[in-house]
Amino acid sequence: MSKKIILSGIQATGKLTLGNYLGAINNWVRMQEEYNCYYMIANLHSLTVRNEPEELKNNTLKILALYIAAGLNPEKNTIFIQSQVKEHAELGWILDCYTYMGELSRMTQFKDKSQKHADNINAGLFTYPALMAADILLYKADLVPVGEDQRQHLEITRDLAERFNKLYGETFVIPEAYVRKESARIMGLQDPTSKMSKSATNLNDVIFLEDEPEVILKKFKKAVTDSENIVKFDPETKPGVSNLMQIYASITNKTMEEIEKEFEGSGYGNFKTTVAEAVINTLKPIQEKYKMILNDKEYLEKIYIDGANRARELASKTLNEVKEKIGIL
């Protein structure tokens, strides 16, 4: 029995965060034994906002290095850069022609990003979901790891796949959402009601995977809690404390009950320091390996060339099937 296919990726803008690691990459590492996994650095999607060219290039390589340092094995996974598999852009355009304006205008992320980047509401930002659908459908992915903020994109992908299949016969696999029950949703340290974001303007709100230990400790000490001084999991009334507990639980695999008992009567100072130390100890070996990989340009180049070649094998097969069905020579 062949393994099910999983596709996921992270945009090439900004530095990777603790939220990216605990909420996504760490889970990807667990999946690599059970599934046939395709993991990309989504640099075409990054073009919907203005980037410094050199920074975009460097971020792409840094994310690739962090993928591997965090435990993604290039031998077991197809790890590639989106732009190096031209079939993504080509199928994205084809799917644009099967996507309705009304569907795109209802996308929450388009509305949110239009507000944040009011001076650059471009067509790519509007048609972004068609390219994301192409990312998924090219590899006939059975499963797509998604958070709540990506569910709309998966739904429009499913709609497009069903629409195309109805018109031209079975072509695309209808992807399902992959949601791990224990998957962590890490919130900001200063605003625990919003997800920790690479684009955070308040640097104390986010832990970057490249942060030095003293920086991590300082950020956790400044983390928002409340005046009760009681370590208790209650996301509604104690979002800050609950977020720190979620981070600690994700790293130690302890239950919330065990964490509450561990810090009973000890106050927030000791709790914050302990969480910070757990994060520092988790990131230390990743950071050490990351620096070695990033300095080995030949190794990185081999990984992304091999990854693109492997990805293109399946992507080109799917695209050729699509072209034949719609009458493109």
Catalytic residues: 113, 195, 198
Helical segments of 71-195, H only = 87-96, 101-105, 108-116, 123-137, 151-168
In the chain, DSSP finds a helix count (H) and a strand count (E) of 13, 5
Phi and psi (nearest 5°) for 73? -90, 120
Distance of CA 300 to CAs 29, 176, 268, 283, Å? 19, 32, 42, 21
Nearest to 250 by CA among 35, 19, 34: 19
Q: Which two tokens stand for residue 234?
A: 């209650």
Question: By the 8 A CB rule, do 212 and 220 touch?
Answer: no
Helical segments of 205-266, H only = 213-221, 239-252, 256-262
Around Cβ 281, how many Cβ atoms within 10 Å?
11
Residue type present at position 181: K
Total residue count of the chain as it appears in this document: 329
Between CA 302 and CA 295 the distance in angstroms is 13
The sheet with strand 5-11 has its strands ordered as: 78-81, 36-42, 5-11, 143-145, 176-178
Give the H/E segment covering residue 208: none
Angle at 183 between CA 306 and CA 201, to 5 degrees: 80
Q: What is the C-alpha radius of gyration for the chain, rounded to an integer number of angstroms?
A: 21
